Each structure stands twice: as structure tokens, then as C-alpha cells.
């Protein structure tokens, strides 16, 4: 019986995705492209060669980290919309360490950068978590607003204190830091491709977060606080503490996504470092059922969509930014489909059409 539900839930989410893509087709038509070709290019072109596949996975790594962080916060009863700011704060903290300690050997420098990035993101998430836990400030408002602050702070740091000295010397003034030393780079997995070890770390971290949330007493506490704060208090849990902890973790994981982009892709902090991963990560988390093991494949799918959108832009001359609209549609569809999953009556009706019967207790 349980198995039926799992299959049913997956089917519901996939149908929601399909509906979102259908509505998206109307957008393509408005933009003057052929939706069928556009989707065909978007969904198949990246899979035709090593380049597309590796680029998809390059995008998947930060999406996965942000998504897993979002899952931690959502499961603990706090809605973290601040991934974008947390990525940037993580990246800039990591860059600072990387630029300050260029002489360290790799086995020390990379972990230190990651640690700093985690701390930077955790600080940014923690502010919102603390405000919510102890002052009752709505975390959706605070995380969104903190995004703006983070973006401006980040830009300031890249334009003045941390700017690449060469940019000043040549007078070009592009807001970016100097390149990190080789010791700070993540290894590339395939020669000639950008795919790097960050993907492996991301998968390991996703699995660790799964174990944390579902197999440890700490994770149990966090989930109880998220699902029913009254019952958590009743059982002697300090709900505020776990809200704060959840936001520290969520922010830290987003910060790690920043570090992955920093050390794995760009090798310096630059303005367009995040590419909207903070928001796409929310889509990934919801699409993955707020479960780390669902988020791993979901992040690959959304990586595919992002890369596919770029390729489609070239093929049918529709701006790749349309993928943002499609992601928005997917969020709406997936969130709306939750009704079909949680409402027992509807579930039974639909399963009944396919010949399943639910037992009555």
C-alpha cells in the first residue's frame, strides 16, 4: 500500500510539472517561438553530448546544496527565501579566506574556505532565524529583505575592499576579486569540462542531511518543532532554539553552494556568481518533496532546464530568461499539487479510478 502512495505522489508531481510546461508553451508561443521545438531543444539538447551533461551537473551542485538547506528549514517550520543572499555571503567569506591565506596547502585551504563560506551563509540565515525565534519576525519578509542587503554588501565588497588589484591597475574596474590560488581550486573531474568535485561533495552533504533529519535525535527534534510546535513544547523541546539552528544550517548550506561556485567554477568572486540559485533552489526543494533524496535528482533536472534554456536561446532565438518564468510556473503547479497528495479523499478518488482501494480504519 505504502508503495502505491509513493508512486502516486511521484506521478502527481510529474503531472504538475507537465501542466507547468504546457502553460509555459503558451509563453513560448507569445514570444514567437515554436513551443515544441523549444522544449525539445531544452530537454534533449543538453543530453546529446558530454558538454551538456557535465554543464547540467555543474548547475546541479549548487542547486542541490541550496535545496537541501531549504528542506532543512522548511521541515523545521521556517520558510527560507534568503538563499540568494546566503550564497553571496558564503562566497565572499570564502573568497576572503582564500585571498588572505594563499600560501596554505590545498588540504587545509579548501576546507577552510568551505568552513568560512558555511559560517558566512549561516550568519546571514541565522539573523533571520534569530529574529523569527526570539522576536517573532516573519521569516519570509526578513529573508527576502536580507537578500537585498546581501546583494548590495556583496557588490560593495567586490567594488572596493576585495577588488582585484589588476582591475584597478588597468582601470577596467570590473567588480570581481583576484583569482584564487590554485590551492583553492576544486579538481575538474573530466579534462576539458567544467565538472568539478563540488558535485560529489554536494551529494555527500545531501546524504548527510538526510541522515541528520531522519536518523538522529537532533533531526527528529527539528522535524517535531517544524510539524507541531505545540507538541514540541509539550515534549520539552526548546522550539526557538531549533528554529535558529535550522536557519543556521540552511544558511550555511547555501553558503557552501557559494563556495562551490567560487572554488569550482569561477575561481574568484564575481558579480554574477549565483545565477539565481538561491531562488531556483526553493523550486528544487519543493519539487524534490523537501526530502534530500528527492532533491538530488530534482537538482539534476533543474540543472538540465537551465542549461537547456541557454541552448534553446541559440536554437529558437527566445531569451533564456524565459526559464525563470517556467520555474515560477513549476513552483505554482507543484505547490498546488500538494492538495492531491495530502487530501485523503481526493487521493482515494483518483486512485479509485485506477482500480486501487484504500483500507478504512
Partner 1 sequence: MAEQIKLLEMKGITKRFPGVLACDSVDLELHAGEVLALLGENGAGKSSLMNILYGLYKQDSGQILINGSEVTFDSPLQAFTLGIGMVHQHFMLVPNLTVTENVALGLCHDRTFALNLGEVRRKIVDVSRKHGLAIHPDAFVWQLSVGEQQRVELVKALALGANLLIMDEPTAALTPQEADELLDLLRDMTKRECSVIFISHKLNEVRKVSDRVIVLRGGGKVYDGPTRELSDSELAGRMAGKELGQAAARAPQPLGEPVLDIVDLHARGDRGVKALNGVSFSVRKGEIFGLAGVSGNGQRELAEVVNGLRRVDSGNILLDGRDVANCSPLHIIGQGMGYIPENRIHEGTIPPFSIRENLILKDYDTDKMSVHCFLSMDKTRCFASDLISSFRIKTPDMETNCASLSGGNIQKVILAREITRNPKVLVAVYPIRGLDLGATENVHEQLLRISEAGTAVLLISEELDELLALCDRIGVIYEGRVMKVLEARKTDKQELGLLMAGVESPSEIESPSCPDERSIELEEVST
What residues make contact with partner 1 under the rule CB under 8 A? 1-2, 215-218, 220-221, 223-224, 227-228, 230-231, 233-238, 344-345, 348-349, 358-361
Which of residues 192 and 357 has its CB atom nearest to partner 1 in the complex? 357
Residues 6+ apart with CB under 8 A from 135: none
What is d(CA 314, CA 317) in angstroms, rounded to the nearest whole number?
5
Query: Quick one: DSSP state of residue 280?
Result: H
Q: How far is CA 115 from CA 62, 134, 186, 327, in A?
A: 16, 26, 15, 31
**Residue 359: CB minimum distance to partner 1, A:** 6
Which of residues 13 and 87 has its CB atom nearest to partner 1 in the complex? 13
**Residue 206: CB minimum distance to partner 1, A:** 18
Which of residues 24 and 289 has its CB atom nearest to partner 1 in the complex? 289
Which of residues 50 and 335 has its CB atom nearest to partner 1 in the complex? 335
The angle, 0 to 180 degrees and rounded to 10, between the axes of the packed helices 2-31 and 344-353 is: 90
**Residue 14: CB minimum distance to partner 1, A:** 23
Say if CB 256 and CB 117 are below 8 A apart.
yes
What is d(CA 275, CA 62) in angstroms, rounded to the nearest whole number?
10
Which of residues 123 and 350 has its CB atom nearest to partner 1 in the complex? 350
The grid coordinates listed for 58 are: 555543474
**Residue 236: CB minimum distance to partner 1, A:** 3
- CB neighbours (10 Å) of residue 180? 22
**Residue 5: CB minimum distance to partner 1, A:** 11
**Residue 340: CB minimum distance to partner 1, A:** 14
**Residue 228: CB minimum distance to partner 1, A:** 4
**Residue 353: CB minimum distance to partner 1, A:** 13
Which of residues 215 and 314 has its CB atom nearest to partner 1 in the complex? 215
What is d(CA 165, CA 171) in angstroms, rounded to the nearest whole number?
10
Say if CB 273 and CB 87 are below 8 A apart.
yes
Buried b (16+ CB within 10 A) or exposed e, 207-225: eebbebbeeeeebebbbbb
Which of residues 172 and 217 has its CB atom nearest to partner 1 in the complex? 217
Which of residues 232 and 256 has its CB atom nearest to partner 1 in the complex? 232
Which of residues 237 and 301 has its CB atom nearest to partner 1 in the complex? 237
**Residue 234: CB minimum distance to partner 1, A:** 5
Q: How far is CA 140 from CA 210, 277, 332, in A?
A: 24, 17, 17
Phi and psi based region of residue 173 (left: phi greater than 0; alpha: psi -120 to 50; beta: remaining): left
What is d(CA 324, CA 205) in angstroms, rounded to the nearest whole number?
27
Amino acid at each position: 500500500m505504502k508503495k502505491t502512495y509513493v508512486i502516486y505522489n511521484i506521478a502527481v508531481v510529474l503531472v504538475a510539472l507537465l501542466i507547468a510546461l504546457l502553460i509555459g508553451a503558451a509563453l513560448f508561443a507569445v514570444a514567437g517561438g515554436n513551443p515544441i521545438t523549444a522544449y525539445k531543444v531544452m530537454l534533449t539538447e543538453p543530453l546529446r553530448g558530454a558538454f551538456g551533461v557535465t554543464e547540467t551537473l555543474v548547475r546541479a551542485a549548487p542547486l542541490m546544496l541550496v535545496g537541501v538547506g531549504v528542506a532543512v528549514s522548511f521541515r523545521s517550520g521556517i520558510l527560507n527565501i534568503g538563499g540568494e543572499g546566503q550564497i553571496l555571503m558564503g562566497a565572499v567569506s570564502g573568497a576572503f579566506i582564500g585571498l588572505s591565506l594563499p600560501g596554505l596547502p590545498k588540504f587545509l585551504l579548501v576546507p577552510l574556505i568551505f568552513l568560512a563560506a558555511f559560517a558566512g551563509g549561516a550568519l546571514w540565515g541565522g539573523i533571520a532565524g534569530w529574529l523569527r525565534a526570539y522576536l517573532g519576525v516573519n521569516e519570509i519578509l526578513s529573508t527576502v529583505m536580507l537578500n537585498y542587503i546581501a546583494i548590495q554588501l556583496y557588490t560593495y565588497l567586490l567594488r572596493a575592499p576585495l577588488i582585484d588589484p589588476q582591475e584597478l591597475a588597468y582601470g577596467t574596474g570590473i567588480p570581481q576579486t583576484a583569482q584564487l590560488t590554485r590551492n583553492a581550486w576544486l579538481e575538474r573531474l573530466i579534462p576539458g569540462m567544467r565538472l568539478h568535485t563540488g558535485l560529489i561533495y554536494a551529494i555527500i552533504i545531501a546524504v548527510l542531511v538526510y541522515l541528520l533529519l531522519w536518523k538522529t535525535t537532533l533531526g527528529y527534534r527539528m522535524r517535531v518543532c517544524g510539524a507541531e510546535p505545540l507538541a514540541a513544547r509539550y515534549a520539552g523541546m526548546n522550539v526557538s532554539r531549533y528554529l535558529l539552528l535550522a536557519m543556521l544550517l540552511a544558511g550555511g548550506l547555501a553558503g557552501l553552494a557559494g563556495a562551490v561556485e567560487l572554488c569550482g567554477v569561477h575561481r574568484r568572486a564575481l558579480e554574477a556568481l549565483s545565477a539565481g540559485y538561491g531562488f531556483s533552489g526553493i523550486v528544487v526543494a519543493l519539487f524534490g518533496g523537501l526530502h534530500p533524496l528527492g532533491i538530488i535528482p530534482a537538482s539534476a533536472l533543474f540543472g538540465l532546464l537551465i542549461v537547456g534554456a541557454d541552448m534553446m536561446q541559440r536554437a529558437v532565438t527566445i531569451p533564456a530568461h524565459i526559464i525563470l518564468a517556467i520555474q515560477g510556473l513549476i513552483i505554482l503547479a507543484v505547490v498546488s499539487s500538494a492538495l492531491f497528495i495530502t487530501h485523503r479523499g481526493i487521493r482515494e478518488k483518483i486512485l479509485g479510478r485506477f482500480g486501487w482501494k484504500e483500507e478504512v480504519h
